[in-house]
Amino acid sequence: MKPKYKRIMIKLSGEAMAGDEGFGLDHNKIDAIAKEIKKCYDMGTEIGIVIGGGNFWRGRDGEGMDRSRADHMGMLATVINCLAMLDALEQLGVEARVQTAIEMRQIAEPYIRLRAGRHLEKGRVVIFGCGTGNPFFSTDTAAALRAAEIGAEVILLAKKIDGVYDSDPNINPDAKKFDKLSFMDVLNKGLGVMDTTAATLCMDNNIPLLVFGLDEPENIVKVLCGENIGTIVS
């Protein structure tokens, strides 16, 4: 198998890092994902990763809280996931760095675009923490923003379900999966692929989205190599 892209952004939800109950960290799952990322890395692919924080905290969970503060907590949650993934990758011999949008220099590098680019050129995986660094945004938006900044050709959006459907397949057994979609379709039909801020950013910057299921972590390699297993949004 040969990679179709040279530089990619992988977006993992916080839940991808958790066990079946959706909370905390499941090291077997993290290791399984890290092994697939290593395969992409071994093929010479330059890899950026954005990880969510929903397995610990989402800003909207903070009912009655000041929203910005609740979002700060969410951004901190992403860093725990980034460090867990960094560790798993390093244990496999993958050179990687974490850069955070909010400075925490004792723990990780601050996000510096040119430095991130340099790491990627040198073959290091860069894991971006703290989302965009701003409340009221999501890590999907962070993935779109960082992808645009580092010049990633595509975003690999790993999901719990195996693509984009016209309705929720967990509720509607007749739900239809799309092979291809435009960002306009996603926005007009209100399809829950990613939030509208993130989708707009991808559309405006011509960054296609490859949506696929992470129930089988080897899907990461398949998608990288151009296999049409999920939904392509462009």
User: Which residues contribute to the site for ligand UDP (CB under 6 A)?
Assistant: 13-15, 52-54, 58-59, 71, 74-75, 77-78, 131-132, 134-135, 137-142
DSSP 144: H
Residue 136, φ and ψ in degrees, nearest 5: 70, 10
Query: From the annotation, which residues make up the binding site?
Result: 11-14, 53-54, 58, 71, 132-139, 165, 168
Q: Least CB distance from residue 101 to ligand UDP, whole Å?
A: 7
User: How many whole angstroms separate alpha carbon 189 and alpha carbon 196?
Assistant: 11
- 142 vs 193 by CB, closer to ligand UDP: 142
DSSP 99: E
- 72 vs 97 by CB, closer to ligand UDP: 72
Query: From the annotation, which residues make up the binding site for UMP?
Result: 53, 71, 132-139
| Beta-carbon count within 10 A of 166 CB | 13
| CA trace torsion 95, 99, 104, 106 (10° rounding) | 20
- 99 vs 132 by CB, closer to ligand UDP: 132
Q: Least CB distance from residue 154 to ligand UDP, whole Å?
A: 18
User: How many whole angstroms separate alpha carbon 19 and alpha carbon 36?
Assistant: 18
Q: Least CB distance from residue 90 to ligand UDP, whole Å?
A: 22
Q: What single-letter amino acid sits at 138? A: S
Q: Least CB distance from residue 209 to ligand UDP, whole Å?
A: 14
DSSP assignment of 40-59 equals: HHHTT-EEEEEE--TTT--G
Q: Is residue 187 within 8 Å of residue 199, measured between CB atoms?
A: yes
Q: Least CB distance from residue 159 to ligand UDP, whole Å?
A: 10
Do β-strands 7-12 and 46-51 pair in parallel, antiparallel, or remain unpaired?
parallel
- 135 vs 151 by CB, closer to ligand UDP: 135
- 39 vs 209 by CB, closer to ligand UDP: 209
Q: Least CB distance from residue 123 to ligand UDP, whole Å?
A: 26
- 45 vs 139 by CB, closer to ligand UDP: 139
Nearest to 52 by CA among 27, 78, 84: 78
User: How many whole angstroms separate alpha carbon 99 and alpha carbon 128?
Assistant: 5
